[in-house]
Amino acid sequence: MTTNQRLTPGDLAPDFTLPDADGAAVSLGDYRGRKVIVYFYPAASTPGCTKQACDFRDNLAELNDAGIDVLGISPDKPGKLAKFRDAEQLTFPLLSDPDRAVLTAWGAYGEKTMYGKTVVGVIRSTFLVDEEGRIATAQYNVRATGHVAKLRRDLSV
């Protein structure tokens, strides 16, 4: 398996409808007319993913004030996402993509290097989708720690 086609600014964001931590359907189209950060992470309740999610939580008010919503997507099932959300008091939707179809469509699933070995898995990635549903920013292989602060600087938020 090779890395999927990556999205670039100007591309139409691949639409999706996925269950959230409570099993309710959430669609990218629900956010049309607003900017939304869509970020992909490997697994709920792991150290790096917890740090990244808590950084988004801690910066959510400023992002929302700038007209930006946040969605987190992982292959975890809704039940695991609910435990993660509740344990970390996360206040933005966590979406479940267990068959990895959305991850793949966004280029966030494929070959990556981990501890010097090539493996297939979730590529930690972050996107800013504009009000018209187009990719404004596409970042692949982001770091879990410090990423949200860098993103806020890049977006002047």
Encode pLDDT of 36-50 as tens digits. 999 999 999 998 899
- At residue 1 the predicted structure's pLDDT band, cuts being 50, 70 and 90, is very low
Encode pLDDT of 121-148 as tens digits. 899 999 999 999 999 999 999 888 888 8
Which of 43-47's residues contact partners 24+ apart within 8 Å by CB, and which partners? 43/74, 43/75, 43/76, 43/122, 44/74, 44/76, 44/80, 44/81, 44/83, 44/84, 44/94, 45/80, 45/83, 45/84, 45/87
Would you please indicate which residues are annotated as catalytic (active-site) residues?
A: 49
Encode pLDDT of 81-113 as tens digits. 999 999 999 999 999 999 999 999 999 998 887
Q: Give the ranges where 23-146 is alpha helix by DSSP (H).
A: 47-65, 78-88, 101-105
Is pLDDT above 60 for 3? no
